[in-house]
Chains A and B, each alone.
Chain A
Amino acid sequence: MHHIKARRKGKGCNVWLALVRDYVILRSHEEIALMTSVQDIEKMILRVALQDRKAFEALYSATSAKLFGIILRVLKDRAAAEDVLQDVYLRLWQGGAGTFTSGTASPISWLATVARNRAIDRLRQLKPSRPLSDAPEIADAKPGPEALVMAASDRAQIHACLEELVPDRAAAVRGAYLDGDTYADLAARFGVPLNTMRTWLRRSLLSLKDCLNR
């Protein structure tokens, strides 16, 4: 008892407590990383829609690093990225999670889209006028497991289809999506006139569409 009390005094105890806390956090992160599957994330989102605080914290633990990475990649500014991350989770809590339609898209890609779109809005200094997700405001019938598998293979498909493009064109699509590059940014980066860039990219998008529909 005495040594505990001694530790509580002075600075040493803060360090010790911080270590214990970090260890506990680390453990819980590990467990979450091990335990969270796509279904778990989906459940968390649905529970967040019901204002379940535990689920909210779990969802944050399981997904915030991924979303922060995405937002940071677009904004390239830590303070702004923290702001957007905060906004994304706050909106999820304040009703946004209720707009997730379970089964249509993978919950992780839904969250990624939400985070990435918010980051783009910030980059363009747009007021966040659009809703959290762009899906039509009518819920689809819940697809079965096959549809979920389809959705998963869809997502791998984009990589294969980008491979079919001229490398520069694929890089332009990635730049627009991941770095938030505008046509003007892309034109400068690839050293072509704006209109040429536009034509290139639109052509790439049509090729992509053909490939994705195959």
Chain B
Amino acid sequence: MTDDTIIPDEDFSGDDVLAAEYSLGLLEAEEMVQVARRARIDLEFGALVEQWQDHFSALTNEVEPVAPPKNLFKKIASEAYPDSPKRIWHQLGVLPALLGAGAAALVLILALQFGVVNPPEPTVATYAARIAAEDDSLVVQAAYVNDTGTLFVERQAGSGVAERSHELWLIAGDDAPLSLGVLAADGSLDEITIPAALRDRLEGATLAITDEPLGGSPTGVATGAILAAGLITVL
């Protein structure tokens, strides 16, 4: 028999062929979704699919492993673990602020609607600032939560210099810059408690970062170059 012969009693309508075609991914998109649903509801059919998938999965033995990029697990962990900086930014609805304030507001609304933000204690940022160098060689994201008086700060781009520190300053109105502290050397998330007396002065003020000796300016006055600055905006 040649393969082209049509065999009269050939029947491809059985579940076996359907389960196999589904397992191979040969069905059209719509059918794919329907069959996926059936596999979950129809125990017998689901078992067929599972059998096929189990058989076919052995074919992956012939695929050479490829090491994924080294930093990928860190990325996964930062999405997965609730206390990771990325999740905190998400919960604050601030991360998208990098894309523009409009998008941030939209995402915040979406986040609230779909319950991404923890419902019991909705930590919502009141203000945000993108503290950036002119050429974006240093970008630090800041978000302020009014309820707790906490300013979250994390470096998104750029790096520090060995034996030097990045110091954060609040410049409100015509007042002299006030130090808010030295940022973490590795750029990881910092939580800074803003003194009660300063909280009213944040709106419309500027946050700036200067290059200072290790541990920060010894005099309480900025001594080094201004590396980055950004306006505090209301979310």
Query: Interface of chain A, helix or strand or loop or mixed?
Result: helix
Contact yes or no, A9 B163, CB < 8 A = yes
Contact yes or no, B46 A136, CB < 8 A = yes
With A9-B163, A68-B65 already in contact, the answer to whether A134 and B49 are too (CB < 8 A) is: yes
Contact yes or no, B20 A208, CB < 8 A = yes
With A66-B65, A116-B60 already in contact, the answer to whether A212 and B54 are too (CB < 8 A) is: no
Bound-state CA distance A212–B19 (Å) is 14
With A109-B57, A177-B59, A208-B20 already in contact, the answer to whether A65 and B49 are too (CB < 8 A) is: no
**Residue in B20, B62, B65, B70 whose beta carbon sits within 8 Å of that of A209 in the complex:** B20
Max chain B Cβ within 10 angstroms of own Cβ: one of A138, A158, A182, A208 = A158
The verdict on A41 contacting chain B, using a C-beta distance below 8 Å, is: no
Contact yes or no, B17 A156, CB < 8 A = no
Bound-state CA distance A173–B52 (Å) is 12
A44 CB to nearest B CB, Å = 14
B12-58 interface (Cβ within 8 A of A): 12, 16-17, 20-21, 23-26, 29, 32-33, 36, 39-43, 46-47, 49-50, 53-58
Interface size class of A (residues with CB under 8 A): 35 or more
Set of chain B residues within 8 Å of A64, measured between Cβ atoms: 67-68, 72-73
Contact yes or no, A205 B20, CB < 8 A = yes
The verdict on B64 contacting chain A, using a C-beta distance below 8 Å, is: yes
Residue of B at shortest CB range from A9? B162
With A82-B68, A158-B58 already in contact, the answer to whether A131 and B40 are too (CB < 8 A) is: yes
Contact yes or no, B57 A112, CB < 8 A = yes
